[in-house]
Amino acid sequence: MANAKKAIAGYKKAIGHPEGMAELTTFYCEEVMAFLTSYGMEDEGYYAALIRMFEQALKWAMHLPANSRAPFLDRLHRVREAGRNIGWGVGDELGDLWDAVSEDDGADG
């Protein structure tokens, strides 16, 4: 996870295009969720890192025009749904973040 976060930070510093940032942060969330769903983890830090990155992914997606945003929101919605099944309050946290963005955007949650 540290290497992935370092790569994302490096991209942000070097290029930082919103669509690229949305892709990298969304992909990170998808991969971490797949790992946690398959293997679980007893380290709260992994769950907290996922929640922080999910928040960033939502922010980057929302910086995009609506037609570019939709695919990222679809992918993040799937991450959010998967989060309901892994415990540690992840589902609640992801849901709260999702709802906050939906309310700000006027979209349905």
**Residue written as token pair 């309050």:** 89
How many residues are recorded in the chain?
Answer: 109
Helix (H, G, I), strand (E, B) or coil at 87: coil
Angle formed by the axes of helices 66-83 and 44-62, nearest 10°? 160
Chain centroid offset of residue 26 CA = 5
Q: Over the stretch 80-102, which tens digit does the pLDDT of each residue have? A: 999 998 877 899 999 999 999 87
Pair 96, 84: CB distance under 8 Å? no
pLDDT band at 109 (very low <50, low <70, confident <90, very high): very low
> What does pTM read for this prediction?
0.86
